[in-house]
Amino acid sequence: MYCPVCFQNTMKIRSSGVIKLTFNGKSRNTSLFTYNLQKESQEQLDAKLREKIVDFLSFYSEFMNKPPIKNFECFSSDFQCTGGCKIDINSKLSVVNVVYPAAVMKQILLEEGKKFGIGIELNLS
C-alpha cells in the first residue's frame, strides 16, 4: 500500500487498532470494532466482521425504502509508514485484502444480505 505522504510502497497496518464499516456511506455507532492481529485468528476476525455486518443489516432491514447496498467500505486509520511519515489521523485506508480478503467480505455480505432480504450489488477488489 502506498503512503499518502511519501508515495512509496511503505504502508503497513498496525498489529492492533480499530476498523470501521460504512454501507452506502452510512454507519451506526456500533459499526466499528477493535482488532489485534497478534492475538486473534483469521476466524475470530471474520466472526467480528460478520457480527457487525449482521448488526447493521438487521437495523437497515427495518427501513421501508431500502436501496441495495452498492458501496461497502471497511477501513482503518491504524496504518503506519515504515519510512516514518506522519500520517493524518483522519485517513481512511481500506483493510480489504489487508486484514480481510475481498472474496470473504463479499461472501459474508451476500449471505447476510440474503437472510435480511437486502440486495447486495457491489464489486470489491
Confidence of residue 10 (pLDDT cuts 50, 70, 90): confident
Strand blocks (E) in the chain:
11-13, 16-23, 32-36, 72-76, 79-81, 93-94
Rg of the chain (C-alpha set):
15
The pTM of this model reads 0.88
Domain ranges of the chain: 11-116
Work out whether the CA dihedral 47, 35, 39, 125 comes out positive or negative. positive
For residue 124, pLDDT beyond 70: no
- Is 95 within 8 Å of 46 (Cβ atoms)? no
On whether the CB atoms of residues 11 and 80 are closer than 8 A, the answer is yes
